[in-house]
Amino acid sequence: MKQQNSRKASLLEAMIPIICLALFLGISIFKFGASPHVPLMGAAAVAGIIGVYRLGFKWSQLEASMFDSVKMAMQAILIIMIIGVLIGTWIISGVVPSMIYWGLKVISPNIFLVASVVVCAIVSLATGSSWSTMGTVGVALLGIGQSLGIPTGIVAGSIISGAYFGDKLSPLSETTNLSPAMAGTDLFTHIKYMLYSTLPSIIICLIIFGVMGMKYSGQELDISQIQLISSTLESSFNTLSPLLLIAPVVVIGLVVLKVPAIPGLLVGALLGVVIAVVFQGQSMGAILEAAQNGYVSTTGIEAVDMLLSKGGLMNMMSTVSLTICALSLGGILEKTGMLEAIASSILKSAKGVFGTVFCTMLTCTFTNIIAGEQYLSIVIPGRMYSEEYRKRGIHPKMLSRALEDSGTLSSPLIPWNTCGAYITGTLGVSAFTYAPFALLNLINPLVSLALIAFKIKIAKIEDEPETCLNLNKEVS
C-alpha cells in the first residue's frame, strides 16, 4: 500500500517524464540513429526520481509496480518469442515461401494496383512484417509500376496499403500482439474484432485502386523481377506445393475453434518442423538453428535473401526488451498516478464511446509524431487508457482496435517516424508523395470511427467479461 504522505502526481508533474522521453528519443533516434530502449530507461529514471523525492513513494513500491506491469504482458512476450520460432520453422519448411510464391501468381497487367495490394497483403500476413514485405516484393512491384508509367506515389500507396493490412491482422506481427496485451484482451479476440473495420476498409481501397488502375490497364507488364523471385524460390526448396499451406490453415482453424494463442501457435511451429523434415528433407539440426537464430537465405538474389532471412527466437529479443523497457516506464507512471493525470486531462471533454476512442486515436498519432516509434504509440497510450476504458465499461478490444487503427496505421504517414523513414529509404518515395495514396492507412481509422458513430458492434465489458484480462490489479 502507499505511504501516508505519498500523493498522486499533478498534470505538470506527470508531463515532465513525457517531455523528457520526447527529448531523449529525439536526440537518440534522429541525431545518433540509436534504438529507443535506453531513452525509455532514462525517462523511467526521471519518473522514478519524481515519484520518490517529490511524491513520497518508496522505491520498493515503484519497483513492484514495474515488475507487475511487465508480468501483465508476459502472455504477449511469450507469444512474440514463440512467433520467432514459428517464423523460422515456417521459412525453412517452405510454408512462407509457398505463400509468397502463390501470391505472386495473381499479378496481372489489367489489375496491377489491385494485384499489388493483394500480393503485399498475402506476403505480410504470411510473414507478419510490413517492413519485409515492402523491402522485397514491394521494391519489385514499384519497379514494375514505374515501367507501366504509374506514378510512384500511387504504386507505393498500394504496396503500403497491402503490407499494413497483412501486418495489422497477422498473428505473427509484433504490433498485433502488443495491442491486446496493453489493452487487456487476448490475441484472437483482438484480430476478429479488427475485421469489422479492416475488411470494409480494404474493400474500399481495392475499389479505388481498381478505378485508378484502369487508366494504365493497356500497358505491357514487365514481370521479369517477379519471375526472378518466383524462380529463385522454386529452385531453393524441394517443393512449394499448396499442400504446405496446411500449416496456416490449421492455425486459422484453431483460431476459429477458440484455442488459446500460445498452444495454437506452438502447434503451428511443430507443423513447420514436420513439413521441413517430410517435404524439404531438412535435418533437425538445421531446423533447430532456424528456430533459435532464424533462417538465413543464401540464394544470392538480394530480394529473396532479404525476404527469407528472418525469424528465430533470438531475433525477437529486441522487441521483447523494448516492451519490457516501455512497460517498466508505464509501471512507474501508473503507480504514481501520472498516467491517470494525463489520461483524465485528455478525456475530460470526451463524451461516450466515440469521444473516448477518438481521443485514444489522437493520442496514438501524437505519440507517433513526438516519439517517432510505432511500438511506443501502442504501449504508452495502451497503458494510459486501459483503466479508463474499464471504468467506462468499454470492452478492452475496442481499445486494442483503436491502438492498431491509429498507432500502427499512422506511423508510415509521418516522415520522421521509424516506419516513414524506412519506407522512404526502401522504396525511394517520400512520405509526402505516397501518404495521399496509402489508402488503407487513411480510410481505416475513419471507418472505425464511423462504426462507433452509427453504433455498430460497440462492445461493452458486461457483454463479454470472459474476454477481458485483469490488467489493472493494484500493486501492494
* pLDDT for the residue 2: 42
* pLDDT for the residue 110: 74
pLDDT digits (tens, 9 = 90+) for 345-395: 887 777 889 999 999 999 898 888 766 668 878 888 888 888 889 888 999
CA–CA distances in Å: residue 355 to residues 336, 443, 465: 26, 19, 22
Spatial distance between the Cα atoms of 336 and 50, rounded to a whole number of angstroms: 9
* pLDDT for the residue 370: 67
Residue 306, burial from CB neighbour count under 10 angstroms (0-12, 13-18, 19+):
middle
pLDDT digits (tens, 9 = 90+) for 397-435: 999 999 999 999 998 998 777 788 778 877 878 888 999
206, containing H or E segment: helix 187-213
* pLDDT for the residue 1: 40
Q: What is the DSSP letter of 89?
A: H
* pLDDT for the residue 192: 92
Q: Which residues of the chain, if any, have pLDDT below 50?
A: 1-3, 471-476
Inter-residue contact 182 to 379 (CB < 8 Å): yes
Q: 394 - beta bridge partners?
A: 460
13, containing H or E segment: helix 11-25
Mention every residue, 6+ apart, whose C-beta is less than 8 A from residue 294: 84, 87, 88, 309, 310, 311, 312, 314, 315
Spatial distance between the Cα atoms of 204 and 198, rounded to a whole number of angstroms: 10
* pLDDT for the residue 89: 92
Spatial distance between the Cα atoms of 117 and 162, rounded to a whole number of angstroms: 4
Residue boundaries of the structural domains of the chain = 11-72+320-467, 75-315
What is the total residue count of the chain? 476
Inter-residue contact 280 to 89 (CB < 8 Å): no
